[in-house]
């Protein structure tokens, strides 16, 4: 059963927005997670320290949430091969779309970027179509 908790959603969304604003103010960079992580593996990057700090902050936030007991551990319906395939497809999509939901959806829309509006509309439509097909077609 799914439970929507508006206060935790509001807090989480506010913290995501705050993190994006702080990153833009501190280092002048957009908080696109796929680009931040990709930059960790680029051979000639001299800005790995802030990238690593940002990624570690993401992990620390999850761990703090678990320690605080705010959420039950997530359950993911699917096999390991399905999850690996899904991860690879998401990675391919972020490279193809030149960004991810955090970069386009959070930061790009806030900057009124037409490219981010198109990308986010595509993400949302594809996600809705995938859920429909999985629940009423293949998986239904």
Q: Is 108 domain-assigned?
A: yes
94 assigned to some structural domain: yes
Nearest to 38 by CA among 101, 108, 97, 95: 95
For residue 47, the enclosing domain spans 6-138
CA 35 – CA 120 distance, rounded (Å):
16
| Contact predicate 91/76, CB 8 Å | no
Could you list the mean pLDDT of each consecutive 10-residue stretch along the chain, which spans 140 residues? 75 88 89 86 80 90 78 73 85 81 85 90 89 80
Asked if residues 56 and 44 have their Cβ atoms less than 8 Å apart, the reply is no
Report the Cα 71 to chain-centroid distance in Å.
18
**pLDDT in the model for residue 118:** 92
How many structural domains compose the chain?
A: 1
128, part of any domain: yes
Whole-prediction pTM value?
Answer: 0.73
Q: Flag whether 67 is in a domain.
A: yes
Residue 63, domain member (yes or no): yes
Count other Cβ atoms within 10 Å, centred on residue 103: 24
CA neighbours closer than 13 Å in the CB half-sphere of residue 48: 7
């Amino acid at each position: 059963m799914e439970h929507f908790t508006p206060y935790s959603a509001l807090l989480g969304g506010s913290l995501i927005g705050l993190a994006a604003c702080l990153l833009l103010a501190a280092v002048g960079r957009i908080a696109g997670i796929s680009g931040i992580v990709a930059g960790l593996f680029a051979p000639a990057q001299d800005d790995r320290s802030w990238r690593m700090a940002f990624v570690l902050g993401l992990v620390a936030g999850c761990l703090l949430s678990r320690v605080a007991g705010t959420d039950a551990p997530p359950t993911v319906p699917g096999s390991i091969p399905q999850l690996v395939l899904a991860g690879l497809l998401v990675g391919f999509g972020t490279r193809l779309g030149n960004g991810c939901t955090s970069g386009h959806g959070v930061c790009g829309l806030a900057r009124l970027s037409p490219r981010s509006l198109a990308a986010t509309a595509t993400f949302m439509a594809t996600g809705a179509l995938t859920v429909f097909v999985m629940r009423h077609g293949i998986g239904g």
